[in-house]
Amino acid sequence: MKKSLLHKPRIVRIEKVRNESNTVKSIVFKDRLCASVKPGQFSMIWIPIYDEIPMSLSLDPKSKLPMIVVKNIGEATNALHELNIGDSIGIRGPYGTSFNTGSAKRILLIAGGTGIIPLLQIAMESNQREYKCDIILGAKNIEEILFYEDLKSADCTLYPVTEDGSLGKQGLVIDLIKKSLKSDYDVLMCCGPEPMIKSIIDVARKTNIGLQVSLERIMKCGIGICGSCELSGFRVCKDGPVFDLKELNAMYNVLGNLKRNHSGKVIDFNTK
Ligand SMILES: Cc1cc2nc3c(=O)[nH]c(=O)nc-3n(C[C@H](O)[C@H](O)[C@H](O)COP(=O)(O)OP(=O)(O)OC[C@H]3O[C@@H](n4cnc5c(N)ncnc54)[C@H](O)[C@@H]3O)c2cc1C
Ligand code: FES
């Protein structure tokens, strides 16, 4: 397949659909470019009639085929939840930067809610790699913990944290990190709500441990042209979505405070 095809929507057939929770579904498909996705990269998913939206790409722990994992929060994600085996979606990518395990021997994965999606592949591949992973897996409650059984079967140590205590320790991810972060990790890899990410940056700044974080902003083109994902001069689609501590320091004051809306206007981060 020619490299230029990366930017053209390819129509793929859905091979499997699986409920991961009450609000989250995995959609599995075949695509040659997506089969070699690096952890943390994303694709632009076109849902005919509705919209084109960014979704992290991963590999299905069961079939090893490419998959997206979709939380139903609005029109386009609801339309994705309506699809079944044999239906089609359009796909561009994989795009963006990825988590870099490099020469790391000990990695701590930190996921809040759907934040486990871009980190899943790193955990699932740890038995074939040089590194060992611990995983802090946070959610509001046991219902919202994703891929628990798959992660348990991977060669990783799991630390679930739920706000209501229905699985693992009760509390927030950041409470557990502040209490028990060991200094023998080479790198922390993180995805989740921005306030959580900001607290983790604060922790990482006080240690010699590396940090890589996946961020989200409104994306339209996904390839660095339109500027809708701009964050402190970075284009999240092209310079990210995975950023290192140096880059995160440069955008620190904006994180959790400001974002752009669908019209490109800078607005308060908590505005819906
Ligand atoms: C790099 C990246 C990876 C993502 N990976 C996943 C994933 O793996 N699984 C998942 O469920 N969601 C993921 N998202 C978020 C997903 O793109 C939004 O939930 C989706 O676009 C919402 O569309 P909607 O029409 O259903 O909701 P809407 O009602 O249109 O929007 C609801 C909210 O979703 C966000 N949103 C809407 N459109 C976009 C857009 N074009 N780009 C970014 N955010 C948007 C806005 O905050 C908005 O307030 C990712 C976003 C980015 C940027
Ligand atoms: S989405 Fe267009 S520049 Fe990032």
154 and 35 in one domain?
Answer: no
Phi-psi region of 123 (alpha: psi -120 to 50; beta: other; left: phi over 0): alpha
Q: Give 54 Cα–ligand 1 centroid separation in angstroms.
A: 6
73, 82, 194, 237, best to mutate for ligand 1 pocket (most atoms within 8 Å of CB) = 73
Backbone angles phi, psi at 90, to 5 degrees: -95, 150
Does pLDDT of 7 surpass 90? no
Averaged pLDDT of the chain: 94
Whether 168 is in a domain gets the answer: yes
Question: What is the reported pLDDT for 127?
Answer: 86
**Domain membership flag for residue 101:** no
Reported as a pLDDT band with limits 50, 70 and 90, residue 179 is confident
Give the pLDDT confidence score for residue 114 in this predicted structure.
95
CATH label of the domain that carries residue 138: 3.40.50.80
Ligand 1 nearest-atom number relative to CA 118: 8
Residues 82 and 180 grouped into a single domain: no
CB of 225 closer than 6 angstroms to any ligand 2 atom:
yes
Nearest-atom number in ligand 1 for the CA of 71 is 11
58 lines ligand 1 (CB under 6 A): no
| Residue 193, CA atoms < 13 Å, CB-side half-sphere | 14
Q: How would you label 128-141 residue by residue, b for 16+ Cβ within 10 Å and e otherwise? A: eeebebbbbbbbee
The minimum-distance atom of ligand 1 relative to the CA of 219 is 42
- Residue minimizing CA distance to atom 28 of ligand 1: 74
Do residues 175 and 108 make contact, with C-beta atoms less than 8 angstroms apart?
no
Examine the fold and report which residue of 95, 120, 152 is the final residue of a domain before the chain moves on. 95
For 261, list phi and psi in degrees, rounded to 5. -90, -175
Task: Count structural domains, the chain.
Answer: 2
Question: Residue 47 Cα, ligand 2 centroid: separation in angstroms?
Answer: 19
Give pTM, 2 decimals: 0.95
- The first and second tokens of residue 216, run together, are 């989200």
Question: pLDDT (tens digit, 9 = 90+) per residue, 31-49?
Answer: 999 999 999 999 999 998 9
pLDDT in tens, 117-166: 999 999 999 988 889 999 999 999 999 999 999 999 998 999 999 999 99
Q: Could you identify the atom of ligand 1 that is nearest to the CA of residue 51?
A: 25
* Same domain (yes/no): 62, 184: no
Ligand 2 centroid to Cα of residue 7, in Å, is 13
Give the CATH number, domain containing residue 68. Answer: 2.40.30.10
Q: What is the pLDDT of residue 3?
A: 55
Q: Is residue 235 lining ligand 2, measured as CB closer than 6 Å?
A: yes
Give the whole-angstrom CA distance, residue 105 versus residue 132: 6
Predicted confidence band of residue 208 (pLDDT cuts 50, 70, 90): confident
Domain final residue, candidates 72, 95, 118: 95
Which structural domain range is residue 137 located in? 106-268
Residues 87 and 114 in one domain: no
If asked whether residues 118 and 73 sit together in one domain, one would say no
237 lines ligand 2 (CB under 6 A): yes
Looking at 43, 63, 95, the residue that finishes a domain is: 95
Ligand closest to 242 (CA) is 1
pLDDT at 2: 56
Q: Tell me the C-alpha to C-alpha distance, in Å, between residue 258 and each of 37, 96, 174, 228, 272.
A: 30, 22, 22, 13, 12
What is the token pair recorded at 181?
């972060």
Per residue in 89-128, pLDDT (tens digit) is: 999 999 999 999 999 999 999 999 999 999 999 999 998 8
Q: What is the pLDDT of residue 182?
A: 80
98 alpha carbon to ligand 2 midpoint, in Å? 17
Q: Which two tokens stand for residue 32?
A: 């040659």
Among the listed residues 232, 231, 207, 242, the one whose alpha carbon sits nearest the alpha carbon of residue 117: 242
Contact 190, 213 (CB under 8 A): yes
How many Å apart are CA 134 and CA 253, to the nearest integer? 29
Instruction: Let me know if residue 166 belongs to a domain.
Output: yes
Give a yes or no: residue 100 inside a domain. Answer: no
Tokens of 3: 């490299």
Q: What is the reported pLDDT for 138?
A: 96
